[in-house]
Homo-oligomer: A and B are copies of this chain.
Amino acid sequence: MIGPQFDEGVFRHRLPIQIRFIDVDRFGHVNNNYYFAYYDLGKQEYLKEVLHEDMMGGDLVPVVVHIDADFFVPVYYGDNIVIETRISHIGEKSFVLQQRAVNAQSETTVCQCTTIMVCYDLKQNCSVEMPKDYRTKIENYENANLSK
């Protein structure tokens, strides 16, 4: 069933989302599908801000292998939605992102998502170790030891 909401604690990275009319379905709700486009955007901006480079530009790219998402309340066109993103764990070749969408007016969490990503080398065509400086930059940003 619906999981419990994420542990409170800090989400340093917050990205306000511009909801598009095209995101809205027959019921006036934002279609669930678009939440993943919002999470994606939060993810890109997080990685760009924290790693100070376009992780999407080189041979090493983060690849989504697992998504786990809970939907608590509907979102409507006109709502002010903020995507909050943090990395909660770093493994050898993978890392775990926690994200949630918060209604900026009501401060309600409308949905949340856990994503497991693997560092993938497009040239070698296989998963590779997380670069050490990425690990450092992320732990500094999150102010936490994420490797345990």
Q: Using a CB–CB distance below 8 Å, which chain A residues touch chain B? A: 1-3, 17-18, 20-22, 24-28, 31-33, 36-37, 40-41, 44, 56, 61, 63-71, 94, 116, 122
Q: Which residues of B contact A70 (CB under 8 A)?
A: 65-66
Give the secondary structure class of A's interface.
Answer: mixed
Q: Which residues of B contact A116 (CB under 8 A)?
A: 1-2
Contact B21 A22 (CB under 8 A): no
Contact among B17, B28, B40 for A22, CB-based, below 8 A: B40
Contact A37 B33 (CB under 8 A): yes
Interface centre among A28, A33, A37 (most CB of B within 10 A): A33
Give A13 Cβ to nearest chain B Cβ, in Å: 15
Contact B21 A41 (CB under 8 A): yes
Contact A66 B69 (CB under 8 A): yes
Contact among B17, B20, B67 for A41, CB-based, below 8 A: B20
User: Knowing that A21-B56, A27-B61 are A-B contacts, what are 11 other residue pairs whose CB atoms are under 8 Å apart, sorted by A's residue number?
Assistant: A1-B94, A1-B116, A18-B18, A26-B26, A26-B28, A32-B64, A33-B40, A36-B36, A64-B71, A66-B71, A67-B67
